[in-house]
């Protein structure tokens, strides 16, 4: 009999978590697993899931908390008449709610996946955010022991969970790469000392700190720098207005969300990741596999494994002034950055869908 898998991701968008779950679910052996997806309101991959004979359940609710009773009822329905069901939740706030509301049974195992660093809970954008995150930290201590298994997407997050909360976990790196020879062509557009093309790909939200890149460019006052921003999100209008305010209109281009990014990456000289916190930035891996030099913030997650703590790329501290100094160093001596990029490309080969699938199935078999 097939193992019944239930993946719950409240906001199932095109971002890192949604993309990782989609890649995993469509690669798992359908003869071995029956796969179900639960999300709130809409799923960006619904059509593709259905083409792969994966059932998608959508709960009508604008808040994860308010969806819990419906989720509990739905999980009970899906797991009925199945000998083995594994329920998989994602990200700390949702994990806590699932630990509170989803009842463990002999035929129902619970797995929590942590995709963002716990340092996220130490960064506050307002008073409500401060209160919410401190409540989450307390609840983690009391309820994470309910899970049969905790999965972290980087060793950095796994180590932090053990040291801070004394919980053991398993590290499974995300499926950042799907090998495709046509896509994975080395970037041949090396910086020649003239116009510098910089790219950054992410959801445009506060924690991604794209404004730091804009302030860094404004500080440098270099007319020969172009910035490509790929992605959408709640901060887009604010970032566009900031670009105008800093008189960077001619230097900055907003592309919105793009499904295919390699056409932009192949003309990129330097990739910047400016996030305050980041679980495992797939876009950085995609930049690395393209041979692009990388400057990244210390975002406390997988970036340390992707760039080997700065050996395979350049990691800066918090703030646009430090970022500006790193961009200036690239401008003055790009050779060192390209030498690191060669090492980064070799390193990220292991973050593949094939390895992720193999490690995930091994974990499921041993739970």
- Can you give the pLDDT at residue 179? 61
271 burial (CB, 10 Å; 0-12 / 13-18 / 19+) is: buried
- Can you give the pLDDT at residue 184? 53
CA dist 92 → 112, 137, 179, 289 (Å): 8, 9, 30, 30
The domain spans of the chain are: 3-175+352-366, 196-348
- Can you give the pLDDT at residue 92? 85
pLDDT, mean of residues 7-24: 92
**Per-residue pLDDT tens over the stretch 141-192:** 899 999 999 999 999 999 989 988 899 999 999 999 876 544 455 565 677 7
State how far the Cα of 109 lies from the Cα of 89, in Å rounded to an integer: 11
Higher-confidence residue of 81 and 173: namely: 173
- Can you give the pLDDT at residue 181? 45
**Per-residue pLDDT tens over the stretch 314-324:** 999 878 999 99
State how far the Cα of 260 lies from the Cα of 354, in Å rounded to an integer: 21
pLDDT surpassing 90 at residue 63? yes
HSE-CB of 337 using CA atoms within 13 angstroms? 23
What is the topology classification, in CATH, of domain 196-348? Rossmann fold (3.40.50)
Q: Name the percent of the chain lying above pLDDT 90.
A: 73
**Per-residue pLDDT tens over the stretch 331-340:** 889 999 999 9
pLDDT, mean of residues 281-306: 93
- 3 state SS for 163-175: HHHCCCCEECCCC
- Can you give the pLDDT at residue 40? 97
pLDDT, mean of residues 245-249: 95
The answer to whether the beta carbons of residues 108 and 99 sit under 8 Å apart is no
State how far the Cα of 7 lies from the Cα of 241, in Å rounded to an integer: 38
Considering only the top CATH level, what class is 3-175+352-366?
A: alpha beta
pLDDT surpassing 90 at residue 51? yes
Collapsing DSSP states into helix, strand and coil, what is residue 7?
Answer: strand
Domains 3-175+352-366 and 196-348 share a fold: yes
CA 242 vs. chain centroid, Å, equals 25
- 3 state SS for 235-273: CHHHHHHHHHHCCCCCCEEEEECCCCCHHHHCCCCEEEE
Lowest mean pLDDT among 60-74, 96-110, 184-198: 184-198
- Can you give the pLDDT at residue 244? 97
The answer to whether the beta carbons of residues 29 and 35 sit under 8 Å apart is no
């Amino acid at each position: 009999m097939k193992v019944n898998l239930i993946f719950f991701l409240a906001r199932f968008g095109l971002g890192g978590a949604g993309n990782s779950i989609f890649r995993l679910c469509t690669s798992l052996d359908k003869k071995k697993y029956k796969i179900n997806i639960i999300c709130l309101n809409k799923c960006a991959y619904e059509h593709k899931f259905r083409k792969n004979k994966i059932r998608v359940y959508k709960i009508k609710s604008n808040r994860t908390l308010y969806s819990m009773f419906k989720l509990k009822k739905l999980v009970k329905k899906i797991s009925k008449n199945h000998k083995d069901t594994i329920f998989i939740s994602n990200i700390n706030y949702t994990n806590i709610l699932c630990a509170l509301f989803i009842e463990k049974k002999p035929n129902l195992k619970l797995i929590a996946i942590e995709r963002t660093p716990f340092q996220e809970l130490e960064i506050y954008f307002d008073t409500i955010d401060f209160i919410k995150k401190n409540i989450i930290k307390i609840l983690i201590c009391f309820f994470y022991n309910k899970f049969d298994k905790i999965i972290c997407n980087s060793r950095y997050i796994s180590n932090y969970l053990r040291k801070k909360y004394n919980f053991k976990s398993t590290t499974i790196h995300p499926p950042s790469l799907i090998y495709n020879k046509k896509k994975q062509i080395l970037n041949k557009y090396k910086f020649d000392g003239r116009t510098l093309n910089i790219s950054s790909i992410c959801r445009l939200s506060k924690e991604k700190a794209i404004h730091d890149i804009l302030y860094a460019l404004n500080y440098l006052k270099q007319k020969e720098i172009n910035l490509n921003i790929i992605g959408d999100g709640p901060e887009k209008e604010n970032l566009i207005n900031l670009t105008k305010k800093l008189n960077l209109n001619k230097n900055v281009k907003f592309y919105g969300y793009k499904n295919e990014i390699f056409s932009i990456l192949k003309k990129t000289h330097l990739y910047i990741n400016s996030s305050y916190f980041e679980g495992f930035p797939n876009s950085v891996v995609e930049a690395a596999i393209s041979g692009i030099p990388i400057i990244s913030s210390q975002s406390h997650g997988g970036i340390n494994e992707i760039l080997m703590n700065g050996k395979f790329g350049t990691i800066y501290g918090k703030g646009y002034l430090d970022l500006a100094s790193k961009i200036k160093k690239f401008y003055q001596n790009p050779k060192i950055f390209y030498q690191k990029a060669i090492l980064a490309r070799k390193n990220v080969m292991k973050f593949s869908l094939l390895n992720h699938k193999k490690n995930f199935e091994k974990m499921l078999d041993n739970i």
